[in-house]
Every structure is written in structure tokens, then in C-alpha cells.
């Protein structure tokens, strides 16, 4: 018999959204290692912060220093890594924030499981699309080199597959687009979906209105 009962709270997600002046959602960036997820996630958070939007960035590597430090890179551990991250992101969305998650998250089934935790429209999947050859050439952390040398097993793009999203909400091609262009594409989608609210003007727009 289940003895754990959900305890309702007097302040709701809608209350927190009203207080913040904008909606809340999770922006889930998925793509190969070296595709530019972390760079875009950081630039996106800064752009939102400058617009007065309340955010929190959940970086996959950072989470493995704490919450997920007991997990390896087996298929099972990767699924658990995604599950935990999605549950934390759900809490931030409930708190009225825009949560930004940057993880390889290579398998569609895990990304769909993450999406299923959220209400319709709250999970925005961004495919950070970049050819594996370009990612290998960039290799910012030296991981492809180590994987190709046999030092790392089950590395996505080398000896483990990456399953691209079939119907992503946003696609940014980092071998052709600048970081600024990628961020602008995501911001445009968030604005079109009504996630940013009336307060979320660009700093330049706000300054012009005050003159």
C-alpha cells in the first residue's frame, strides 16, 4: 500500500509565473559532444537574464560533479542521468523559471521520457545540429581523441550512436550559424510561444523606450 501522498502547496506555479512576469518552461539542448550545447546554453541564459527573465542553467557536466556523480556512462546510467536532470528541471519550471538543460541525451526514448514529465508546451527541444566530423575536429575537451584511442568506452559519436530528434522545436546548425544566431533563433521561438512575457525586452529595446 502506497503511504506517500502528494502534499499540495498554497503557492502555485501560476502564482510564481505571475510574480516573475513571464511563463516557465525547460529548454532542452541535445546534440553531440562538441556541437556547442554548453556555449549556446550559457549565451542563452545571459540573454534571458538581461531581459529580466528568471532562469537556471543545468549543465550536464556540472550535474555529474554533484547530483549525478554516482552515475557512469552505461546505457542504464545515462537514462538515470536524464531522468534526474528532467526531475530537477521540472522543479524549476514549477518555481516559475526557465530551466536550460545542456546534455548530449543521445537516445530519443530518454528525451521523450523527460518530455512526458511536463505539461504540453513546457518542454522545448532544441537540436544542436553539427556534423560529427566537425565535432571531432573541435574536440574542446579532448574526449574524441581519447575515445578513438580506446581510453573511453561507449562514447557518443564514436562507438555509441546518437539519435537525432525527429521533430525538434528548434534546430540550430552550429557549423553554419554563429552563437548569436543560434540564441536569437531560440529566443524567437520562446517569444512566439509566449514564454517570455511583456517584460522580456532586449536591453537595447528597453533603453530606447526610456529615451
Identify the helix (H) or strand (E) that includes residue 79.
helix 75-94
Residue 179's SS3 state is helix
Residue 156: count other Cβ atoms within 10 Å of its Cβ. 22
- Is 105 among the residues known to form the active site? yes
Cell numbers placing 150: 580506446
Active-site annotation holder among 24, 33, 35, 105: 105
Residue 87 is given by DSSP the state: H
The answer for residues whose C-beta is within 8 angstroms of residue 121's C-beta and 6 or more apart is 25, 193
DSSP-assigned letter for residue 74: S
Strand partners, 48: none
CA distance readout (Å), 183 to 41, 189, 201, 202:
8, 10, 15, 13
Known catalytic residues are 105
Amino acid at each position: 500500500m502506497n503511504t506517500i501522498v502528494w502534499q499540495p502547496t498554497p503557492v502555485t506555479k501560476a502564482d510564481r509565473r505571475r510574480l516573475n512576469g513571464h511563463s516557465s518552461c525547460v529548454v532542452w539542448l541535445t546534440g553531440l559532444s562538441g556541437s556547442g550545447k554548453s556555449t549556446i546554453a550559457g549565451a542563452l541564459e545571459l540573454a534571458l537574464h538581461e531581459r529580466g527573465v528568471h532562469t537556471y542553467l543545468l549543465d550536464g557536466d556540472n550535474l555529474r560533479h554533484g547530483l549525478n556523480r554516482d552515475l557512469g556512462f552505461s546505457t542504464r546510467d545515462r537514462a538515470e542521468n536524464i531522468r534526474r536532470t528532467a526531475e530537477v528541471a521540472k522543479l524549476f519550471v514549477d518555481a516559475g523559471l526557465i530551466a536550460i538543460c545542456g546534455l548530449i541525451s543521445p537516445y530519443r526514448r530518454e528525451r521523450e521520457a523527460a518530455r512526458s514529465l511536463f505539461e504540453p508546451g513546457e518542454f522545448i527541444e532544441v537540436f544542436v545540429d553539427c556534423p560529427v566530423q566537425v565535432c571531432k575536429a573541435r574536440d574542446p575537451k579532448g574526449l574524441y581523441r581519447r575515445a578513438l584511442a580506446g581510453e573511453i568506452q561507449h562514447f557518443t559519436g564514436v562507438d555509441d550512436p546518437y539519435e537525432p530528434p525527429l521533430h525538434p522545436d528548434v534546430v540550430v546548425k552550429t557549423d553554419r550559424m554563429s552563437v548569436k544566431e543560434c540564441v536569437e533563433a531560440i529566443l524567437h521561438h520562446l517569444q512566439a510561444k509566449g514564454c517570455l512575457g511583456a517584460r522580456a525586452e532586449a536591453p537595447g529595446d528597453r533603453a530606447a523606450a526610456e529615451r
